[in-house]
Amino acid sequence: MYYYIMHVLTFIIGLCLGSFMNVCVYRLPLSKSIVTPRSMCPGCNNFIKFYDNIPVLSYIFLGGKCRNCNIPISFRYPMVEIISGLAALSCFIKFGLSIEWLVYFAFASSLIVITFIDIDHKIIPDVISLPGIPIGLLLASFVLPSMNFKESIIGILAGGGSLFAIAWIYSLITKKEGMGGGDIKLLAMIGSLTGWKGVLFTIFIASATGTLAGIAVMLKTKKGVKLAVPFGPFLSIGAILYILFGTEIISWYFNMLM
C-alpha cells in the first residue's frame, strides 16, 4: 500500500514540476525570468488564477481554452506535464526514494526542457547545458554511488569530443555546418552523469531514432524542400532510456547476438 501511495505522490510531484518546465520552455529562449512575473495568458495577458493552473486538470476543465479570452491553449502544456509525471514515476520505480532518484529526475527534467526548446527554436540553451557539465561532474564524483570522477570525466570528453569530431569532419568534407555546438555541449552534459557507456548508448539510440524521424519528415515534405531536424530531442531520448533501461537493453541486445 505504501508503494502505491508513493507512486501516486511521485507522479503528482512530476506533474507539478512539469508545469514549471512549461514556463522554462516558453521563457528561456526569450531570455525572460522563469521566476517572475507569474504565469499569464499570451492572448489577453491576464494573470492565470491558481485554480486555472492545476496540471492537466485545469486544461480539461477549461476545455483547452483561456477562461478570459477563450484563446486555445496548446496541448503541449498538459503533454509536458504528463511526460514529467511519467519521468518522476519511472525514476522512482528504478531508484526508489533515494538521492539517485532526485538527481536523475532533475537530469531528465532538464532534458525534457531542452527537447521542447530545441523543437520550437532549433537551439539548445547554454544556460542549461553548460552549468550541467560541472554540476554533473560534482554529482558523479561525490553523490552518485554508481559513478565516480574518472567515469564522469571520460564521459564528458567522449560526449563532447565525439560530436565535435563528427562536426569537424562533416564541415571539412562538405564545407557546411552539420552538427550544432549545442548538441556537442548537451552530449558532454549527458556524459557527465552516464559515463562513456551512456554516451555510446545515447549516440546509438539518437542516431537510430533520428534517422527514422528524418525519413518520416522527408516523406511528408514536398520534393526539393529541406527541413532541419533538431538532434537534441533524440539525444535526450537516448540518455533517458539509458538511465531507466540501459543495462536491460544492452543485455537483451548482446543476448540476441549470441
Question: What pLDDT, on a 0 to 100 scale, did the predictor assign at position 173?
Answer: 77
Task: Let me know the angle formed at the C-alpha of 203 by 227 and 141, rounded to the nearest 5 degrees.
Answer: 130
Q: Cell digits for 147?
A: 559513478
Question: What pLDDT, on a 0 to 100 scale, did the predictor assign at position 143?
Answer: 94
Q: What is the 3-state secondary structure (H, E, C) of 222-258?
A: CCCCCCCCCCHHHHHHHHHHHHHHHHHHHHHHHHHHC
Name the residue with cell 532526485.
Answer: 102
Domain ranges within the chain, ordered by starting residue: 1-97, 123-258
Question: What pLDDT, on a 0 to 100 scale, did the predictor assign at position 179?
Answer: 64
In this prediction the pTM is: 0.91
Instruction: Write the DSSP string, 53-120.
Output: -STTHHHHHTTTB-TTT-PBPPTHHHHHHHHHHHHHHHHHHHH-SSHHHHHHHHHHHHHHHHHHHHHH
Digit-coded pLDDT (tens) for 77-122: 999 999 999 999 999 999 999 999 999 999 999 999 999 999 999 9
Question: What pLDDT, on a 0 to 100 scale, did the predictor assign at position 227?
Answer: 66
Going by pLDDT thresholds of 50, 70 and 90, the confidence category of residue 250 is confident
